[in-house]
Structure 1
Amino acid sequence: MTDSTAATAPAGSDAPGPSADAVRRDPIDWAVAARTAGALVPPGPRLSARQAKAEAEGLRRAADASVEHVHRLTGLEAARDLRDSQVLIVDRATWATANTRSFKALLAPTFAHLAATRPQEYAVSTTPVATAATGAELGAILAFLGSKVLGQYDPFAALSGNGGRLMLVAPNVAAVRAEINVVPEDFRLWVCLHEQTHRVQFAAADWLATHLQEKTTELTSALFDKSDSLPERLCAAFAAALPGRSNDDGPTGRPAVSADPAVTAEGEAAVTLQTGAGAAVGKGGAEGPGGAEGPGGLLGALQDDEDRARLSHLTAVMSLLEGHANVVMDAVDAEVVETVKTIRRRFNARGDRRSPLERFVRRLIGMDAKMRQYADGQRFVDAAVAELGMDGFNVVWDDPALLPTEAEIHAPDLWVARMRREA
């Protein structure tokens, strides 16, 4: 289901006009990826025309209403003016195909680096057969994710000059709401609180999208540069993802940290900040779980010490963003979302009903670790705000140097002490 705005709004432009980069073939056939994603994603629940219109209009109202609450709860003045980005109500296929354009813009610097530094290997990876195969793999991943994601704020659409965009996937919102049997208006607003918080974060920190792209380019370029040993590393990753291994904790009992600065992959009212397609298609990238306590998923097999440091930074930033959004969505009281406690309880219980196959796929592409990342970030934000107040916490949006490290995410008092020293 998609409203008229979503159908006509630009989802991100393709590469600019004739240039060396435009002539160069990418290792991913983006057209194949888009066609595959659109063809494979299931359509979602059957809704009449009247029901579809009501769902789209309800989400639009919730998206508008949520901004005032985000401003009140975060104290971020950026919430007063969000004209630099769009709100789109989309169906699953639109979400999946739109993401191929964002990935293309995001990965352009990585591919330019590889073409310049490893021209022979790059030429081999960009034959029509190779690019079509990789495009089909990415499209299949996006089709799977397209049935899971409730919402996504995509700041990287702005890389192609169109501004950021918030996409709310109406069929998934309707399906999850029906599954957990909650009040439609309350659930829509609850979801939109999370997503609009992400929109406000990137408006408050206008440097953040570029910072994430630069750090992702460093990581993906390094991983591609080590691709000679990729098959062996991928075998280890697949072995780590086999059923029977714990999905809950790393080897020390602390949840393994999600390194996914990219795809949120569950409908957990999540943002999809795509900072790397590569790991999802087995080519190296910034998606999947990782961290010093015991990496998992595809990227767990693709790390050396330098990669871990890069990945640790991205993990910390994404934990901050997701945790902050979760704090906002759960901070509303019954006067705003009357059934908020019921929604959260039933929403969290959904994980108990997943099939063995879905559990395997989720672990393979880092989805379970992503959910743990939300909890890690939420604990950090709660602790930091308790010590510094919301105004004191909000300095985190002022400069990249003030972002928490991964160690600080798990020990908020370290970040609080650093902020007090720098105050």
Structure 2
Amino acid sequence: MDTVADTEQAPADNSGPAENIDWGLAATIGKRVARPGPRVTRYTWERANAELLDAAVRAEGPVREVTGLADGLAVPTAQILDRSGWIDAASRSMPAMLAPVPSADEAENASDDHRSGHGISGKIAGVQAGGLLAFMSSAILGQYDPFSVDPQTGQEGVLMLVAPNIIAVERALRADPSDFRLWVCLHEVTHRVQFSANPWLADYMRSNVASLTGTDDDSVADLVGRVTESLRSGKQREKGVIGLMQLVQSPEQFESFERVLALGTLLEGHADHVMDAVGPAHVPSVESIRAAFDQRRKGPKNPLQRLIRALIGMDAKMAQYVRGKAFVDHVVERVGMEQFNTIWTSPETMPLMAEIDQPDAWIERVL
């Protein structure tokens, strides 16, 4: 998201992008302009909620069995949200993800309210963020958020399932609702297992995102100018996909960008690998669901959708599924899942971006 420099006399030392966005306003704007979900009866809504809660629990066992991760850990309850609920949750989570990892003293003295940006610049950024949240709220099927706190247990990490979006997609695909809901949960539960079994991943992600989004001498105008020039000239990175974060130019930020991209590609590819490994035994119509879903991913978008997806990196995320799954498939086929799990040991065992397309190079370096 855009980082807006404060025009008032606000402290400049540890202020990051999260502090420069009015997240409360972002949530308000996002909920106001978000598109309504599909029309459903109360019975359909209640049944979908019940099935998704059950599927999130049923998916946990097969995912743990295939991955060999999180054995013996408790199985928390998922949150079933509508689009407004997801916007509220995202507006609370984003400041935590964008903020630098605090020291022990900073964490002890931190305020509980991270939702207000400074002055008029924070409100402008809040309006921009609200538009982004509104767009994303109709695209997210499910999400494991390692930065949110479960209100029931008080533990960090929440699995969220956006019911109206799941219903909309299963209808569009003409998929069996029960099968599709479990299939979605297999993917999202894999993310929960990844972070639950490897708690260091959350801080690793947060520290790199904070470095990536931290400002140095660049203004918002500079960043927008680079985006505009890139779109005009066709300048592309990462196999032709233009994403806002791919326009970062400082060496330090680009290194953080590559670490974030490699981590995201691994997490998404691993989840897709597990989904396909578990699916045939637990989701009867998995083959038709996978074929229809992949076709939907590749389907045409209108020009405005293409522009927004490019700017926020959604097309890059789609590429992550394909490249990440190919990486995981290859490594697991060569060395088995137990040896593959060495990847979760530390930042040093994470794949480099160049190794995503050359998995044998990761095997040689790490194993």
Report the Cα distance in structure 1 between the residues aligned to 2:119 and 2:222, rounded to whole angstroms.
25
Question: What residue is the counterpart of 1:27 in the other structure?
Answer: 20
Question: What residue is the counterpart of 2:9 in the other structure?
Answer: none
Render the CA deviation track for 1:299-320: whole Å, top value 9, x for unaligned. 2332222222221111111111
Render the CA deviation track for 1:22-43: whole Å, top value 9, x for unaligned. 9xx9311121011111211122
CA contact (8 A) 1:41 1:92 kept: yes
SS of corresponding position for 1:154: strand
Are 2:32 and 1:48 aligned? no
Question: What residue is the counterpart of 2:288 in the other structure?
Answer: 342
Q: 2:222 aligns with which of 226, 232, 237?
A: 232
Q: 1:255 aligns with which of 239, 244, 249?
A: 239
CA contact (8 A) 2:57 2:77 kept: no
Q: CA distance change for structure 1 residues 181 and 126 in 2, over 3 Å: closer, same or farther? A: closer
Amino acid at match of 1:206: P
Q: 2:316 aligns with which of 369, 374, 380?
A: 369
Question: What residue is the counterpart of 1:63 in the other structure?
Answer: 56
Shift of 1:233: 3.5
Are 2:120 and 1:136 aligned? no
Question: What residue is the counterpart of 2:7 in the other structure?
Answer: none
Question: What residue is the counterpart of 1:416 in the other structure?
Answer: 363
Amino acid at match of 2:135: F
Q: CA distance change for structure 1 residues 135 and 206 in 2, over 3 Å: closer, same or farther? A: same
Question: What residue is the counterpart of 1:82 in the other structure?
Answer: 74
1:2-401 to 2 correspondence within 5 Å?
Answer: 26-76=19-69, 78-83=70-75, 85-109=76-100, 127-158=118-149, 162-221=155-214, 224-228=215-219, 230-241=220-231, 255-256=239-240, 296-350=242-296, 351-401=298-348
Question: What residue is the counterpart of 2:10 in the other structure?
Answer: none
Render the CA deviation track for 1:192-224: whole Å, top value 9, x for unaligned. 000000000001111110111122222222xx1
Q: CA distance change for structure 1 residues 185 and 31 in 2, over 3 Å: closer, same or farther? A: same
Render the CA deviation track for 1:165-204: whole Å, top value 9, x for unaligned. 0000000000000001011111011100000000000011
Report the Cα distance in structure 1 between the residues aligned to 2:71 and 2:128, rounded to whole angstroms.
38
Report the Cα distance in structure 2 between the residues aligned to 1:107 and 1:332, rounded to whole angstroms.
33
TM-score computed with the length of structure 1 as normaliser: 0.74
Shift of 1:64: 1.1
SS of corresponding position for 2:124: helix
Report the Cα distance in structure 1 between the residues aligned to 2:150 and 2:353, rounded to whole angstroms.
27
Question: What residue is the counterpart of 1:120 in the other structure?
Answer: none
Amino acid at match of 1:213: R
Q: CA distance change for structure 1 residues 104 and 159 in 2, over 3 Å: closer, same or farther? A: farther
Question: What residue is the counterpart of 1:4 in the other structure?
Answer: none
TM-score computed with the length of structure 2 as normaliser: 0.85
Render the CA deviation track for 1:70-91: whole Å, top value 9, x for unaligned. 0121122x154235x5410110
Q: Where in structure 1 are there 5+ consecutive unaligned residues?
A: 1-19, 113-124, 257-288, 290-295
Render the CA deviation track for 1:349-404: whole Å, top value 9, x for unaligned. 12324222212211121111110011111111111111110000011112222111
Identity fraction in percent: 39
